[in-house]
Amino acid sequence: MNDLADALQSDRATATGTARRWLAFASARRFDPLAGRLAPWFFAAALLLLAAGLYVGFRVAPTDAQQGEVYRIIFIHVPAAWMSMFIYLVMAGYSALALVFHTRLSSMMASALAPTGALFTVIALASGALWGQPTWGTWWVWDARLTSELILLFLYLGYMALEAAIDEPRRAERACALLALVGSLNVPVIYFSVQWWNTLHQGASVSFTTAPSMAATMLAGMLLMTLASWMYTIAVALVRVRCILRERGVLAPTDGSRSGSWAG
Amino acid sequence: MPALFAAIVLHDVSLAWRRRGSILSSLLFFVIASSLFPLAIGPDPQQLRALAPGILWVAALLASMLSLARLFAQEHADGSLDQLLLSPHPLALLVLAKICAHWVTSGLPLLLLTPLLAQQYGLPVSSALLLSASLLIGTPVLSLIGGVGAALTLGLRGGAVLLCVLVLPLCVPVLIFGAGAGAAADAGLDAMPQLSLLGACLALSLFLCPIATAAGLRISME
């Protein structure tokens, strides 16, 4: 009986210990050196995966029977489209954390992710247009997925505009967190409303419920590119959040400031 | 609580009534904007009739954006917003009362004017009335979503433009379902699915938007 109680207690102790160790990184002072150490590794991983993904995509993967070489744009288009939606979700998650726990670092992570999300949305839209011209014969159609991707871009831009318009950093952080949460609740409604409105886009080729309808090497190339995008996003977000921490005066400007003009 | 709710609505409506000019000018904007489209597109009655629900909905959406910036601005300037935040009653309900008053003074006149404007486009009376019905369900949603944007952009430089940038993308579903209901009615199809979806949007935003607006006001007034 005693043994059991002891075991339970020690279990709980280690559990709270682990939780505390993770929560410690909500402190900017602890998080900053970790982010600085990790960022180069994520950059290196992104470069390696990008090289591998491009090699598989452009040299190994076979030519598509129907679409010819044009289809190869999916190695950029699909990962970018996935990332654009996924990053908004992650931003909403960080924003919820920021509003519930009042952690400034969480909302800074959200605002560090926003430009990358907007970038991927633009890449998805532009590469889609480049693919649509030879395949559908038009740069743009008012199709459900294109439209919802465009509205997602507007949401990203609205988020960044609100952040730029508010001078006090704390108000900007919390207002943007609320906006991201409201937007993320609206995203599924927008998606379905636009889908019922009009649909021309080809059905999803990759889904988690049915067997994928593409060659294994194509899938491998796409997954490699997706992983590369993930690594790139993490690396850039870590670098950007370190800049934001210094911009907003949470951390004293360190290395660069000695030569910079704003050291005093 | 119901008495307080009614008092806030009455207070805001009578304040707006004493400054009728701003209500009138956003109505005038609605009339002018919807009269510009035939001039730009051409007078072909067939084409105009097909475009009417969409044009009237977009014009109504833009007209309701105009008055949004005023939703909390006056109270913010004279300090009564601070009193509202200090009140022991739930802020979300007080905010809902203000949004109701905003809808009565901005959304309601639009939908009363719509059957008249629909005549410019040669819509038959029955589809014009159905278009009004879709506005009756849809414009409260616009006011509710707009309230969140108004709270977040309170007192900012260039707040009115920023407000449109934030709110318009969020209004896309309402626009699609609302204009879709009008178009379906004119094509002789059943408009009930779109109206039901609009009703679902209204129910969802009636629950969520006052809470988000209250949170936004607390953030902006910190």
d(CA A194, CA B215): 29
Interchain CB distance below 8 Å, B169 and A151: yes
C-alpha–C-alpha distance, residues A122 and B181, integer Å? 32
Question: What are the structural domain ranges in chain B?
Answer: 2-221
Interface test with A, best of B219, B220, B221, B222 (most A CBs within 10 A): B219
Rounded to whole angstroms, the Cα distance separating A11 from B94 reads 48
pLDDT tier at A259 (50, 70, 90 boundaries)?
Answer: very low
pLDDT tens digit sequence for A33-50: 888 899 999 999 999 999
Neighbouring residues of B151: CB distance < 8 A, sequence distance ≥ 6: B72, B95, B212, B213, B214, B216, B217, B219, B220
Cβ–Cβ < 8 Å for B110, B30: yes
Amino acid at A239: V
Closest CA to B12 of B87, B79, B72: B72
- Look-up of token digits 């979503």: B145
**Residue B153: band (very low, low, confident or very high) from pLDDT cuts 50, 70, 90:** very high
Interface test with chain A among B154, B170, B175, B194, by most A beta carbons within 10 Å: B170
pTM of the model: 0.86
> Mind telling me how many Å the CA of A234 is from chain B's nearest CA?
27
Contact A182 B204 (CB under 8 A): no
> H/E/C letters for each residue in B19-64?
CHHHHHHHHHHHHHHHHHHHHHHCCCHHHHHHHHHHHHHHHHHHHH
Least Cα separation, residue A12 to chain B (angstroms): 35
Residue A258 pLDDT grade (very low, low, confident, very high; cuts 50, 70, 90): very low
Q: Which residue of A has its CA nearest to B214?
A: A178
Structure confidence at residue B59 as a pLDDT band (50, 70, 90): very high
Write out pLDDT tens, residues A206-245: 554 554 566 788 888 889 999 999 999 999 999 999 999 9
The pLDDT tens digits for A117-164 are 999 999 999 998 888 888 888 888 887 788 889 999 999 999 999 999
Residue B106 vs residues B71, B151, B213: alpha-carbon distances, Å? 11, 18, 18
pLDDT, residue A9, reads 58
Calculate how close chain A gets to B166, using CA atoms only, in Å.
5
Tokens, residue A251: 């951390």
Q: Return d(Cα B148, Cα A183) in angstroms, integer.
A: 11
